[in-house]
């Protein structure tokens, strides 16, 4: 029986953070401290947790983090005006608006208002275009983190069959683009599956690298995975467990307990992709500051 090697996102993230700290020290020697502003609209509990974690990470590495909390009923114009003000603030190198935003605010308008040179989430159309055409720009944090994990564990995509389950702008589309490009980390043959894919298992079973970002808990079972495949589980869902102390547990899109008996490498949930997403946000913020120094 195969027992998969665990891809330890926490370990890789810590190494990235160490590199970020060193880069920040060099920037400070040149009189610059990277600055990140996080805007949160409303009081969504999960968003509040994510924002606190980001603030803690920034403090740990030496990034000046500023969290701006706006009420649930904030008009879209007020939020966009705030973003424009931050666009012109030379001490702010990264702008992140925590999603989701309340229904009166169009998230596309928010993303397009952020200065592309401060778009540390990598979602502005200009940065998306750069990613697709292979030009330097911000890469969305989660796909970037997945790429770095594969590199760290020396898992080559070159010539491999990669199947991505999920087609979101945040994960599915960018990771597919990154892995099929003619680069050292790419050169894979990539298939994207989604809710209208018929017989999903026929695709997932042929994947040398399976990346799942569907947001559907335990939708990928062991019998859908090729033996010795690398399985990257991006999904995370909260499931109530009244019998436990916390009252809930976090699970992924992959049935980890059984999948690890088939896969060659696999990410856990939590402790896999999550820490990497936050680490790459730090990287992107510092990279933004570095571009300001060199221009």
Burial of 132 (0-12, 13-18, 19+ CB in 10 A): middle
C-alpha to C-alpha distance for 74 and 105, rounded to whole angstroms: 8
Per annotation, catalytic residue among 17, 54, 119, 255: 54
Q: Strands 248-251, 237-240: parallel, antiparallel or unpaired by DSSP? A: antiparallel
- Our CA angle for 162, 176, 109, nearest 5°, is 155
Per annotation, catalytic residue among 57, 118, 119, 121: 121
Rg (CA), the chain: 19
Task: Look up 54 and say whether it is catalytic.
Answer: yes
C-alpha to C-alpha distance for 272 and 275, rounded to whole angstroms: 7
Task: Look up 60 and say whether it is catalytic.
Answer: no
Q: Give the torsion sign (CA, 252, 266, 16, 191).
A: negative
Q: Strands 209-212, 161-165: parallel, antiparallel or unpaired by DSSP? A: parallel
Task: Look up 104 and say whether it is catalytic.
Answer: no
Per annotation, catalytic residue among 17, 98, 181, 260: 98
Chain-centroid distance, C-alpha 193: 19
Residues catalogued as catalytic: 54, 98, 121
């Amino acid at each position: 029986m195969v027992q998969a090697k665990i891809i330890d996102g926490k370990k890789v993230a810590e190494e990235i953070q160490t590199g970020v700290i060193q880069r920040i020290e060099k920037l400070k020697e040149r009189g610059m401290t990277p600055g990140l502003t996080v805007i949160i609209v409303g009081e969504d509990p999960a968003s509040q947790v994510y924002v606190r974690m980001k603030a803690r990470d920034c403090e740990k590495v030496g990034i000046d983090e500023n969290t701006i909390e706006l009420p649930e009923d904030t008009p879209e114009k007020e939020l966009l005006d705030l973003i424009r003000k931050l666009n012109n603030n030379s001490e702010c190198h990264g702008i992140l608006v925590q999603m989701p935003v309340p229904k009166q605010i169009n998230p596309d308008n928010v993303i397009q208002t952020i200065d592309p040179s401060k778009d540390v989430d990598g979602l502005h159309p200009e940065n998306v275009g750069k990613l697709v055409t292979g030009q330097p720009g911000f890469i969305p944090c989660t796909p970037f983190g997945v790429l770095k994990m594969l590199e760290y564990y020396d898992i080559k995509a070159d010539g491999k069959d990669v199947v991505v389950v999920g087609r979101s702008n945040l994960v599915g589309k960018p990771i597919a683009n990154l892995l099929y490009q003619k680069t050292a980390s790419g050169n894979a043959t990539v298939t994207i599956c989604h809710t209208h894919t018929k017989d999903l298992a026929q695709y997932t079973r042929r994947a040398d690298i399976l990346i799942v970002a569907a947001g559907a808990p335990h939708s990928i079972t062991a019998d859908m995975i090729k033996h010795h495949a690398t399985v990257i589980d991006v999904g995370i869902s909260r499931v109530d467990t009244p019998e436990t102390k916390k009252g809930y547990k976090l699970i992924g899109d992959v049935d980890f307990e059984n999948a690890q008996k088939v896969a060659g490498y696999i990410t856990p949930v939590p402790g896999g992709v999550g820490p990497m997403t936050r680490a790459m946000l730090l990287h992107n913020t510092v990279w933004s500051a570095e571009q300001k120094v060199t221009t």
